[in-house]
Amino acid sequence: MRPESELRRGDLAADPLEQFEVWFAEVGAAVEVPEAMALATATPDGSPSLRMVLLKQFDERGLAFHTHYTSRKGHELEANPRAALLFHWWALGRQVRVEGSVERLPAEESDAYFATRPRSAQIGALASRQSERLESRAALEHRIAELERELGDEPPTRPATWGGYRVVPDAWEFWQHRDSRLHDRFRYERERAGGWAIARLFP
């Protein structure tokens, strides 16, 4: 059962990034993978798709994740560079929704992150043609073994088809569980003159 905790307008920071930082710090002690988030993309004609990814960085520029540019989400983001994110932290009865435009991270930022990944994950990124049809698991494992032999002791280099994206928010929503489905919901929307407008929403 999720805990009930009131969320009041006066509890909220004026900037949604500051509010997210507070919640993210609080949830870190209660949730095993607080950085797990659902990422929704869509084709230009509006056909949606959804998957789980990991948040790798967030700051005043936006929220960053990494993937294959040639994956389904990569193709959809190239054609329609907008996305929605959802963090669902069941243990605290909280959700955070983010909507915004999407841009690629600079190559040097993707290189820097790729260098921090475990070697097995680096080789996996080289071996995978994410979202394409795969003949068999054995074929994938054979390709990984080939790459391990080819690389020897050399560190893998980030493939040009893999890198980071940043979601630049123009709206955030903070959702707190309440009994009888009468949840507390507050939406931040970016104002043209700068700053954020905050509104309470019906549950």
Q: Phi and psi of 127, rounded to 5°?
A: -80, -30
Q: Which two tokens stand for residue 3?
A: 């805990």
Cβ-count burial 18-42 (b if 16+ within 10 Å, e if not)? ebbeebbeebeeebeebbebebbbb
Whether 181 is a known active-site residue: answer: yes
Ordered alpha helix ranges (H), the chain? 16-28, 72-79, 107-116, 119-127, 137-151
Q: Which two tokens stand for residue 52?
A: 């789980």
What angle do the packed helices 119-127 and 137-151 form, to 10 degrees?
A: 120
Q: Out of 137, 149, 181, 192, pick the active-site residue.
A: 181
In the three-class reduction of DSSP (H, G, I as helix; E, B as strand; rest coil), residue 176 is classed as: strand
Cβ proximity of 169 and 100 under 8 Å: yes
Question: With 0-12 CB in 10 A as exposed, 13-18 as middle and 19+ as buried, what is 59?
Answer: exposed
Catalytic residues: 181
